[in-house]
């Protein structure tokens, strides 16, 4: 069984989560969504594909949405996604699942991780103690997520604030 994680990271939070999960799993590789998209189908029976990304304006970053829409994914692939943000996460995982459903697969496992907020227009910068706590908590959480992915656990998406997220995400992006 191989595991491929596609990540998008602007400030390093998602990259760190991807690296933490990769360290916990054998036969795991990470690849940036920003560098290139595979030109052949990925996944398949016994294969796992993961997506790790930050939340932008209550939804998916434009690059992530475009990458996943164009990615060919084989049926029977165990797909997982981890969304990270400093504040509200709304329905970014639901948006990801909707795209995957249109491709004939869906998220088998979805989770969220709170990281230090870095959108300084709407978030105050957390103090050093809070940043250290968030990073420690995220590290612990990634170990649990890695174990769940290894065991191919099911944790489906819980759609939340779907209409609100779509309006905000579309308006700001």
CATH 3.40.640.10 fits 3-172, yes or no: no
Q: How far is CA 30 from CA 3, 56, 131, 164, 165, in A?
A: 9, 21, 25, 32, 28
Distance CA 115, CA 106 (A): 25
In this structure, the number of other CB atoms found within 10 A of the CB of residue 125 comes to 12
Domain ranges within the chain, ordered by starting residue: 3-172
Is-above-0.85 flag for pTM? yes
Q: pLDDT of the chain along its 173 residues, tens only?
A: 799 999 999 888 999 999 999 999 989 999 999 988 788 889 988 899 999 999 876 778 989 999 999 999 999 999 999 999 877 657 889 989 999 999 999 999 999 998 877 666 666 777 889 889 988 999 999 999 999 999 999 998 876 544 544 555 455 55
């Amino acid at each position: 069984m191989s595991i491929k994680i596609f990540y998008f990271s602007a400030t390093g939070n998602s990259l760190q989560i991807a690296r933490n999960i990769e360290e916990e799993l054998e036969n795991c590789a990470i690849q940036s969504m920003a560098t290139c998209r595979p030109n052949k189908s990925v996944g398949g029976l016994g294969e796992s594909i993961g997506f790790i990304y930050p939340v932008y304006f209550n939804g998916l970053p434009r690059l992530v949405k475009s990458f996943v829409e164009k990615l060919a994914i084989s049926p029977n692939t165990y797909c997982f996604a981890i969304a990270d943000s400093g504040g509200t996460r709304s329905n970014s995982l639901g948006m990801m699942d909707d795209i995957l459903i249109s491709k004939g697969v869906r998220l088998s496992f979805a989770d969220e991780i709170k990281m230090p907020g870095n959108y300084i227009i709407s978030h105050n910068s957390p103090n050093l103690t809070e940043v250290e706590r968030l990073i420690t908590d995220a590290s612990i959480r990634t170990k649990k997520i890695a174990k769940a992915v290894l065991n191919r656990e099911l944790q489906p998406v819980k759609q939340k604030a779907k209409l609100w997220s779509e309006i905000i995400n579309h308006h700001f992006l």
